Amino acid sequence: MTIKLRKQSIEILKILKKKPAEVFAIDLAGELNIDYIVLMSAINEFIEYDLGGFREEDIYQISLNDEGINYLTNGLPERQLLNILLENKIKEINVDDLLKRSNLDEKIFYIGIANLKKKRWVAQSKASGENKIFIISEEFPQTESERFLQKFEGKTTIDYSSISKDDLKQLDLLNKRKLIKKNRKTQRIVYLTEKGKKIAISKIQELEYISKITPEMLSSGTWRDYELKPFDVTKSGPLLKAGKTHPLVNLINEVREIFLSMGFIEIRGPIIESAFYNFDALFQPQDHPARELQDTFYLKNPKVAKLPEKDRVLAVKKTHETGGDSGSLGWGYKWDENIAKQTLLRPHTTSTTMRRLAQFYRNNEKVPVKVFCIDRVFRNEKLDKSHLAEFTQIEGIVIDDNANLCDLIGLLSEFYRKMGFKKIVTRPGFFPYTEPSMEVTVYYDKLNEWLEMGGSGIFRPEVTYPWGIKEPTRVLAWGQGLERIAMPYYERTDIRDFYINPIKWLREQSYLK
């Protein structure tokens, strides 16, 4: 079998051949300035060809604790005590005096005294009536413990295995004095086998790993000279940070698909709208509270909007004042064209729906008409977890003969069913421009919650008659909140996320959908 190794592994083999029998993997990696993992993967290649291997060994490391480090710099307590005596030329001293001078902890002081006595450098006697210490030696050479302690000079740790038999006794003594810390570590030791030691480098073939086969390699047959890099299918792929459509756009597309599949056509209208289409055409009186600044953003520029054809403006005016031909009594006030000309950022897409009714009138269209609109609206709202000043509505109408509330319930239920909601509840509601009016609530099983989706109803005659839509032709209408669906859909608890765009969340979004 020819031996094939990667280039780096061959280099490592060369170096190992020059080394003594065994080396610590960590030391070798450090010496070669390569990653430990890289070294071990080379060793694994050696194992495959029986050129080398590794074994694991528990390494005990010895270091001094804080007290030990203190004695390394200041001397063991016995040496500190002796120095006090020698420096002050004291031959005998009261034990308590020495204790005071030494500044040592009492316990440590007595350990020092005990060791001085053991060495026969001092003696202790109470013969004079006082408890006294006497120097009884002339020479005070370095002790074995001191010599051993010195080994830690400039080092934080010593390998247990490097300690000689004699020193082991000293280690034991220092350990008993509680000056030593022990640390166990598992180290890998790498080595070459006899085969590995003997093999000539020239006999080893350099292995090249590739991760791609090119057409050239296939046609020339050189792909056979390479080793294919194995794939680790358990590893996650690199994070792709390419652009993708925004989650809200994905949802809009899904809603769009559903309405298209139900035979609807998409319409769009201006964001900057006239009060006429936004309020007047919807039979909202000109002093209606919803028109006020606190709900609606009015514009200074452009200041006035163009109104539609004169006769339609007149029809709306009449409806407000007297009910016109709608059968209503109207609001009974003097309708002001200038108020209708005010400009605003549309607070709902129902204004776009009204433009579609005007178009229906102008083109003298036939029923049925089924249109929808998914677009941005603006409201003077305080922002919080569930309120935005700028959001999206899903609006739609059906103009048809004898269209009724059951049709509306069926239609909206079908829409929400297609969106994945199983339980839909409709309740009476109120809007100035619909009668009856209806609220839609859906059950979201994941959160165990009922979510209010928006309003709907049948446009009042006061709304449809000015555009020539008269009994038995009726208009079913609805306006639902897109972000209300988006929150459970994307499991966001804060509606602002759709506009603040937390980058982490956006990156987690699928590319598909």
Residues that bind ligand PHE (CB under 6 A): 348, 350, 431, 434, 454-457, 477-479
Structure tokens at 205: 């073939």
Shortest gap between Cβ of 507 and ligand PHE (angstroms)? 33
Shortest gap between Cβ of 251 and ligand PHE (angstroms)? 19
Shortest gap between Cβ of 429 and ligand PHE (angstroms)? 8
Choice between 149 and 485, CB closer to ligand PHE = 485
Q: Which residue is nearest to ligand PHE (CB)?
A: 479
Which helix (H) or strand (E) segment is 482 a member of? Answer: helix 482-489
Choice between 250 and 326, CB closer to ligand PHE = 326
Helix/strand/coil (H/E/C) assignment for every residue in 171-185: HHHHHHCCCEEEEEE
Distance CA 57, CA 60 (A): 10
Choice between 3 and 412, CB closer to ligand PHE = 412
Q: Alpha helices, DSSP H only, in 308-460?
A: 310-322, 337-340, 350-362, 405-418
Choice between 123 and 389, CB closer to ligand PHE = 389
Count helices and strands in the chain by DSSP H and E runs? 21, 20
Shortest gap between Cβ of 431 and ligand PHE (angstroms)? 4
Shortest gap between Cβ of 287 and ligand PHE (angstroms)? 19
The residues, any chain, with a CB within 8 Å of residue 472's CB and separated by 6 or more, are 401, 402
DSSP state of 290: G
Dihedral sign (CA 448, 428, 405, 433): negative
Q: How many CA atoms lie within 13 A of 234 on its CB side?
A: 0
Assess contact for 171 and 62: CB atoms under 8 A: yes
Distance CA 377, CA 269 (A): 11
Shortest gap between Cβ of 435 and ligand PHE (angstroms)? 10
Choice between 170 and 456, CB closer to ligand PHE = 456
Choice between 79 and 484, CB closer to ligand PHE = 484
Q: Alpha helices, DSSP H only, in 226-282?
A: 247-261, 275-278
Shortest gap between Cβ of 493 and ligand PHE (angstroms)? 22
At residue 406, what are phi and psi to the nearest 5 degrees?
-60, -40
Shortest gap between Cβ of 509 and ligand PHE (angstroms)? 28
Choice between 323 and 457, CB closer to ligand PHE = 457
Strands 122-125 and 132-135: antiparallel
Choice between 23 and 486, CB closer to ligand PHE = 486
Structure tokens at 209: 């790993």
Assess contact for 191 and 21: CB atoms under 8 A: yes
Choice between 348 and 474, CB closer to ligand PHE = 348
Shortest gap between Cβ of 358 and ligand PHE (angstroms)? 16
Amino acid at 98: L
Distance CA 89, CA 105 (A): 23
Amino acid at 379: R
Choice between 109 and 391, CB closer to ligand PHE = 391
The total of other beta-carbon atoms located within 10 Å of residue 36's CB is: 13
Structure tokens at 60: 């005990």
Shortest gap between Cβ of 249 and ligand PHE (angstroms)? 21
Distance CA 465, CA 71 (A): 103
Choice between 9 and 434, CB closer to ligand PHE = 434
Structure tokens at 166: 């004699």
